[in-house]
Structure 1
Amino acid sequence: MNTTFAYGQVDDTIELIGSRASAYDELVGRFGPLLREKARLGDEFAAEEVAPPAVDPARIAAGVPVLTGQDLSLWTKGFCRSARTLLPLLARAIGMERDVSDRFKQYFGDPKNILGLAQARIEGNWKHFENTSVQLFTQPDIALYVTETVSSPVFNAIAVTMGEPFSRENWGHGHCPVCGSSPSLAMLVPGDTANSEYLVGGGGAKYLHCPLCGHDWRYRRTACAACGNEDGETREILHQDGMKCERIEACHQCGKYMLTIDLREYASPPHPDAIQMGLIHLDVIARQRQLVPVSPTLWNTID
């Protein structure tokens, strides 16, 4: 199972969110154009068949993500093209001040700067974002979000080159095997008896979704993605009445939570990145219970 951007699926998901509740109208209006263009661009990169990364089976077996430690300069042109396309839409979506937007545009105009930020994101080099934010007169989390947004279509295309078989590898870790990111969403799909250790009571198989590269990997159905806890006494499922297909998986051992959608219950599967914009009400419930998301995103950190 591997998630591409798939413009049509993203567009359908945005329409689904807009049809549910008027409370989401503003977000759909602001971020819809950005999400759609991000999807279109991601589809283009995937169709162009970008160069695949080198895969070391020994590193994978040791739990080291594919892109960790790799030189990303092979994909510099893609990062630059994505930045030129998405920065204006991103600035409008988040209401970025004109002077800040201009500084980002100038900074991202240098391929070395874009590559440095993308590399820092993969390596988890937060200090690089702190230093960059000083140069741009902004906050480190803004520099991080901009970097993730403009680099995501490229990382997604890279993940697609790994192929479907890679997504079925028994990775077993709570971080992405391609880029190392923490998952932002869990998905339940029809079960596969060939991997019975990942199923419980005949239920669906569980996949975790990477918010950066879009890769989906199989994970233990009853385990917390943050700490691996499988104790039923310290894990809890929360959902709104009549919406069991969209829920919160809470772990009281580590205090973190993961949003989960059951793809078996949808007439048409929503796109895992886009649907998260329509699940903010669940993030609010989790926050009221003093829970922290496994992976902070724009949607689960909105005040």
Structure 2
Amino acid sequence: MLQNSSEQTQRWEQNHQKKIQLMRQMQGTVPQYQEILGFFEQVLQERKKYKFALCDLPDPLVPGNFALYESKLKKGIPLLDRNDIDFNNQIMAEHLFRLAQILKSRSRNKPADFSDAFLQKNNFNLKTFLTGKQLPLSGDPMDFLVSETINPVLAIYAEKIKDRIDFTKWNRGYCPVCGEFPMMAALSAETGKRKLISLSCGTEWEYSRVKCPYCENEDQQQLSYLYIENTPRYRIEICHQCRQYIKTIDLRQTTEPVDYEIENIITLHLDIIARENGYGDDGSVGETKPENAVYH
């Protein structure tokens, strides 16, 4: 059932406060990430304003078309097409510009000057970036700005969808809503089953523990994991076939509240370890292995 705008914004406010509280707690727990968490708190404050401005986005599902949506999922087609997103260029561009100012103020070398010239162009249109025509390179500051502008929109749509569509039969490694590959995985505290998490839209779905979400490899000789001693809650699941990895949190190993977006930030060292060992988008094969990293 769709919630009205008042109920929706009230829930967003509650979730926002919980996230801020947990993040501030993490700043004391993992002081090495204090600076980036402080930056992320500023981003969250802007994100809240942005989502409130977009709270009246239309329902992405057309009533009476649910058989079509079920058919799409059976064929492995995600429900959202970015070409069909309702773009409010003014609100989105203003949000992107405010984010650019935060990024610029936090940068020691002031690399974000590009944003001023870019955003002041009269022909700026965010949709051209999000339909694949002018996508920035991964790692480019513009990549962060565009993602942080489009992902809250995807999250709003996903909220409107999640309780009305059955995802239990979805067996793909990419998100059934937005089509993005997961940024993290989690093992259930109750059953140990694996679920994948899209940090683009917030959707979670169950997926086999013995199958690579990227290439669907099920050869157990080609799948393994890497963990760091003294941190049993985390592991890096790796596929030797496609050389991809996914950070995983074992919820059986913690009783603390978990926010996957925050977890993704405070486990950046796991990304470094994975890439040093040759896993990740760049496809490089590394030779280094941290002394406290153990393969299984």
TM range (shorter): 0.7 to 0.9
SS of aligned partner of 1:33: helix
Q: Which ranges in structure 2 are unaligned for 5 or more consecutive residues?
A: 1-10, 283-296
Supply the AA of the counterpart residue of 2:141. I
Cα distance change of structure 1 residues 257 and 89 upon mapping to structure 2, 3 Å threshold? same
Separation in 1 of the partners of 2:183 and 2:125? 26
Separation in 1 of the partners of 2:182 and 2:230? 26
Separation in 2 of the partners of 1:214 and 1:77? 24
- Find the counterpart in structure 1 of residue 116 from structure 2: 102
- Find the counterpart in structure 1 of residue 8 from structure 2: none
Supply the AA of the counterpart residue of 1:106. Q
SS of aligned partner of 1:259: strand
Q: Is the 8 A contact 1:35 1:274 kept in 2?
A: no
Deviation at 1:70, TM superposition (A): 4.1
* TM-score normalised per structure 2: 0.76
- Find the counterpart in structure 2 of residue 92 from structure 1: 105
Instruction: Give 1 or 2: higher helix fraction.
Output: 1
- Find the counterpart in structure 2 of residue 129 from structure 1: 135
Deviation at 1:23, TM superposition (A): 2.2
| Candidates 22, 29, 33, aligned match of 1:24 | 33
Cα distance change of structure 1 residues 243 and 165 upon mapping to structure 2, 3 Å threshold? farther
Deviation at 1:258, TM superposition (A): 0.3
Separation in 2 of the partners of 1:232 and 1:106? 52
Aligned length: 263
Deviation at 1:147, TM superposition (A): 0.7
For residues 183-222 of structure 1, what are the structure 2 equivalents within 5 Å?
A: 183-191=182-190, 203-222=191-210
Q: Highest CA radius of gyration, 1 or 2?
A: 2
Separation in 1 of the partners of 2:213 and 2:72? 21
SS of aligned partner of 2:220: coil
Separation in 1 of the partners of 2:82 and 2:56? 22
- Find the counterpart in structure 2 of residue 50 from structure 1: 57
Supply the AA of the counterpart residue of 1:273. E
| Candidates 117, 121, 129, aligned match of 2:129 | 117
Supply the AA of the counterpart residue of 2:129. L
1:14 aligns with 2:23: yes
* TM-score normalised per structure 1: 0.74
For residues 65-76 of structure 1, what are the structure 2 equivalents within 5 Å?
A: 65-68=78-81, 70-73=83-86, 76=89
Separation in 2 of the partners of 1:52 and 1:80? 22
Question: Does 248-257 or 224-233 show the bigger shift?
Answer: 224-233
SS of aligned partner of 2:165: helix
Deviation at 1:263, TM superposition (A): 2.9
Structure having greater relative contact order (Cα 8 Å, sep ≥ 6): 1
SS of aligned partner of 1:239: strand
Between the aligned residues of both structures, percent identity stands at: 25
Q: What's the CA shift string for 1:170-199, capped at 9, x where partnerless? A: 2111111111111111112245xxxxxxxx
Cα distance change of structure 1 residues 79 and 250 upon mapping to structure 2, 3 Å threshold? same
For residues 140-289 of structure 1, what are the structure 2 equivalents within 5 Å?
A: 141-166=140-165, 168-191=167-190, 203-289=191-277
Supply the AA of the counterpart residue of 2:127. L
Separation in 1 of the partners of 2:22 and 2:89? 30
